[in-house]
């Protein structure tokens, strides 16, 4: 009797371990499959014209230069506006906020905003900017991306500042330095690597965002750097081209997908390398 019970327990454990290992293997297979498809389908579409030509009608050799530039313009606007706001807000939470109710409330709303579906951010910007201006614009697209950047930066700045040892702040206070000086020249400096990580993660996140741009920046077939006019972006070109019926547009979509993935994965790996070890 004992023998069979033991055998059954060992059997359960073996099945469980086999399942866990299989789960990890399947996870890795998904990653491998996606990367393999991107490389095999995307490499064929990589050509000089991809970077030198704007999007063209199907049939003529075109590129995605306007979309690359559009993505760069809107993402950098979002990062330039969103980063300082996010760092200041994170600083308030970690340095001034303490244990107060207000701090807990702001953290709560920030965490919700961090995971709010990005398409709803798009609707929000559509309501307050696109309807006010009367037309789609790169400005609205950048605003939508900014709203996505801010909570990411707030969250990492807050976390990273909380990791800075208190003794550093106390040393500053003992020298008679005002709190704001301590923050700027001691705690920010100590947490710099972590804060940079947060910004990089935010950049990685927005460079693949499509949903919030659909009805804010709207997309543009032509070369445009006018920020009050509709603007093309790389993810949106993928969306439009993949849904089209033309083989050469599919090819461009795959090549663009490869570009974005390489950019995003490089950013996340760099961010991970910079990230300070916990404890």
In the region spanning residues 60 to 99, those forming contacts with another protein, defined by CB under 8 A, are 84-86, 88-89, 91-93, 95-97
Q: How many helices (H) and strands (E) does the chain have?
A: 13, 0
Residues 19-58 that bind another protein (CB under 8 A): 19-24, 26-28, 30-31, 33-34, 37-38, 41
Minimum separation from the CB atom of position 274 to another protein (A) = 14
Instruction: Determine, following the binding rule CB under 8 A, whether residue 218 of this chain makes contact with another protein.
Output: yes
* One residue of 142, 164, 183, 231 binding another protein per CB under 8 A: 183
d(CA 68, CA 75): 11
Kindly indicate which of the ranges 56-64, 111-119, 186-194, 221-229 contains the residues binding another protein, using the contact rule CB under 8 A: 111-119
Residue 99 has φ and ψ, to the nearest 5°, of -105, 15
Minimum separation from the CB atom of position 269 to another protein (A) = 8
Minimum separation from the CB atom of position 229 to another protein (A) = 16
Virtual torsion, Cα 123, 125, 126, 129, nearest 10 deg: 170
Question: What secondary structure does DSSP assign to 192-243, as a single string?
Answer: HHHHHHHHHHHHHHHHT--GGGTTTTB--SS----TTS-B--HHHHHHHHHT
Instruction: Determine, following the binding rule CB under 8 A, whether residue 198 of this chain makes contact with another protein.
Output: no
* One residue of 56, 65, 168, 208 binding another protein per CB under 8 A: 208
d(CA 68, CA 53): 11
Instruction: Determine, following the binding rule CB under 8 A, whether residue 100 of this chain makes contact with another protein.
Output: no
- The total of other beta-carbon atoms located within 10 Å of residue 270's CB is 14
* One residue of 46, 65, 81, 119 binding another protein per CB under 8 A: 119
* One residue of 64, 67, 121, 140 binding another protein per CB under 8 A: 121
H or E element at residue 148 = helix 138-163
Residues 225-264 that bind another protein (CB under 8 A): 235, 238-239, 242-243, 250, 253-254, 257, 260-261, 264
Residue 216 has φ and ψ, to the nearest 5°, of -120, -60
Minimum separation from the CB atom of position 220 to another protein (A) = 13
Minimum separation from the CB atom of position 60 to another protein (A) = 22
Q: Which of 276, 265, 279 is nearest to 156 (CA)?
A: 276
Question: What secondary structure does DSSP assign to 89-139, as a single string?
Answer: HHHIIIII-TT-HHHHHHHHHHHHHHHS-HHHHHHHHIIIIIHHHSS--HH
- State the number of binding residues for another protein (CB under 8 A): 88
Minimum separation from the CB atom of position 135 to another protein (A) = 13
Q: Which of 159, 68, 61 is nearest to 110 (CA)?
A: 159
Kindly indicate which of the ranges 53-61, 66-74, 143-151, 186-194 contains the residues binding another protein, using the contact rule CB under 8 A: 143-151
Minimum separation from the CB atom of position 30 to another protein (A) = 5
């Amino acid at each position: 009797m004992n023998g069979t019970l033991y055998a059954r327990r060992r059997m359960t454990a073996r099945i469980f371990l086999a399942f866990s290992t299989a789960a990890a293997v399947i996870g890795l297979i998904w990653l491998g499959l996606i990367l393999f498809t991107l490389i095999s389908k995307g490499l064929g579409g990589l050509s000089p014209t991809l970077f030198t030509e704007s999007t063209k009608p199907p049939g003529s050799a075109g590129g995605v230069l306007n979309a690359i530039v559009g993505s760069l313009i809107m993402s950098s606007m979002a990062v330039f506006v969103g980063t300082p706001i996010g760092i200041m807000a994170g600083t308030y939470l970690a340095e001034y906020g303490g244990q107060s109710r207000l701090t807990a409330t702001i953290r709560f709303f920030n965490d919700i905003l961090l995971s709010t579906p990005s398409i709803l951010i798009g609707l929000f910007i559509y309501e307050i900017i696109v309807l006010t201006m009367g037309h789609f614009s790169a400005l609205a697209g950048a605003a939508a991306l900014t709203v996505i950047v801010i909570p990411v930066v707030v969250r990492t700045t807050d976390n990273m500042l909380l990791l800075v040892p208190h003794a550093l702040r106390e040393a500053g206070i003992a020298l008679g330095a005002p709190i704001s000086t301590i923050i700027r020249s001691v705690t920010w400096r100590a947490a710099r690597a972590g804060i940079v990580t947060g910004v990089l993660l935010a950049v990685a996140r927005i460079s693949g965002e499509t949903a919030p741009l659909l009805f804010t920046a709207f997309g543009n077939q032509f070369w445009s750097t006018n920020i009050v006019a509709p603007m093309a972006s790389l993810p949106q070109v993928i969306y439009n081209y993949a849904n089209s019926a033309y083989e050469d547009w599919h090819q461009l979509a795959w090549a663009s997908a490869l570009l974005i993935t390489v950019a995003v994965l490089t950013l996340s790996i760099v961010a991970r390398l910079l990230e300070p070890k916990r404890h």
